[in-house]
Structure 1
Amino acid sequence: MQKRQLLSGAVALLFSATALADSFTLSSPTIGDGDTLSAAQVFNGFGCNGGNTSPALQWSGAPEGTKSFALTVYDPDAPTGSGWWHWQVVNIPAEVDSLAANAGSADGEMLPEGARQGPSDYGVKAFGGACPPEGDEPHRYQFTLYALGTETLQAPDNASAALIGFMINANTLGEASFTAKYGR
């Protein structure tokens, strides 16, 4: 009987955690999951001609205990052997539930107070739009918001995208994401 109660409790906990994870969502008013990025989110350089503007984002249902958020935009299809980081934002306060369009500008003026941008693989601390090689199949752009159990990630100013990713993963309580695509 005791084994049955333990198993029943473990199953209930698993379903409870799954339900909680399902309630944490990330979306954009202009990009749906599986949609193609617009010209606004395309890089302006390296042969691409776009607006290089980060999209508006909104989220809800963060896990209990969330003390801050981190956001990444990543292209796993880039022909680099390690993908391509298009944007990283850390130390987004827990009470924030959205980012405005163009929050990823280099001046960071539209980011919430305390939030800061990490380096993209374009070599700047700002949003870098899509610019896959011509002729490639459309690339995937994974927008992921992490609920963190710490108010601030203590990453040094010169931290690499990999170090920031490590620190995000070490403090993650939950994550929400959607994927868009773009090819040329």
Structure 2
Amino acid sequence: MRFNKVVLLAACSLFAFSSQAIELNSTNVTEGKTLKNAQLFNQWGCTGENISPELSWNDVPAGTKSFAVTMYDPDAPTGSGWWHWMVVNLPASTQSLPANSGLKGGANLPKGASMVSNDFGFKGFGGGCPPEGAAPHNYQITVYALDVAHLELPENGTAALAGYNIYQHLLGKAVLTAPTNAR
């Protein structure tokens, strides 16, 4: 039993030091501050503008061949959280996304990038929309540096499958968290 604990601790330590922190910035999302109306959903009783945030990143790990960007709500009352946005296969030369890059269909993404269906059921950005009366939800916007140029995903691949593939190729990541209960 002791051997298994030592192996597990060593493996966890190796993983903890295997990825590098990236610096993630945004002109319209601030760490610890409520999402603005632009980043809120415009359905399901929410009256936002449903525009993905402007993002930029630097301090990219050596060997980065592509990026992925997500917005995830771990507090959604589903048992598995809620994927609001997932972009994969952003070329390694990409170090920013302008506002509204998450336009449904992907017309505002860099060449080669694509989106995975969010939990609203479409490929695009679906803004925050916590249930009425809920405690604030912690929306996590994350950029991931990956060691592959292209994630091979089926056309109808899920966010969970994409997330699994992202973590298999992770070199570094950065997260902005915006707690929101606004509707």
Aligning the two structures, in what range does the TM-score lie when normalised by the shorter sequence? 0.7 to 0.9
Aligned mate of 1:161, from 147, 150, 159: 159
Cα distance between partner residues in 1 of 2:38 and 2:70? 18
Cα distance between partner residues in 1 of 2:20 and 2:159? 25
Asked whether the 8 Å contact 2:20–2:171 carries over to 1, the reply is no
Cα distance between partner residues in 1 of 2:39 and 2:174? 20
Cα distance between partner residues in 1 of 2:29 and 2:45? 23
Cα distance between partner residues in 2 of 1:145 and 1:74? 12
CA RMSD of aligned residues (A): 1.4
Q: Tell me the amino acid that sits aligned with residue 33 of structure 1.
A: E
- What is the CA-CA distance between 1:69 and the residue it aligns to? 0.2
Aligned mate of 2:26, from 12, 25, 28: 28
Q: Tell me the amino acid that sits aligned with residue 79 of structure 2.
A: G
- What is the CA-CA distance between 1:27 and the residue it aligns to? 1.4
Identity %: 52
2:38 corresponds to 1:57: no
- What is the CA-CA distance between 1:82 and the residue it aligns to? 0.4
Q: Tell me the amino acid that sits aligned with residue 105 of structure 2.
A: D
Cα distance between partner residues in 2 of 1:126 and 1:134? 23
Cα distance between partner residues in 1 of 2:40 and 2:29? 13
Aligned mate of 1:138, from 136, 141, 151: 136
4+ aligned runs moved over 4 Å, structure 1: none
- What is the CA-CA distance between 1:66 and the residue it aligns to? 0.1
Aligned mate of 2:179, from 166, 178, 181: 181
Aligned mate of 1:109, from 107, 110, 115: 107
Cα distance between partner residues in 2 of 1:82 and 1:164? 15
2:113 corresponds to 1:120: no
- What is the CA-CA distance between 1:123 and the residue it aligns to? 0.1
Counterpart residue number, 2:168: 170
- What is the CA-CA distance between 1:157 and the residue it aligns to? 0.6
Q: Tell me the amino acid that sits aligned with residue 42 of structure 1.
A: L
3-state SS of 2:178 partner: strand
3-state SS of 2:99 partner: coil
Counterpart residue number, 2:127: 129
> Gaps spanning 5+ residues in structure 2: where?
1-13
Number of equivalenced pairs = 167
- What is the CA-CA distance between 1:21 and the residue it aligns to? 2.7
- How far does the alpha carbon of each residue in 1:4-47 deviate from its partner, in whole angstroms, 9 at most, with x for none? xxxxxxxxxx9xx69x834x111111111111101111101011
> Gaps spanning 5+ residues in structure 1: where?
1-13
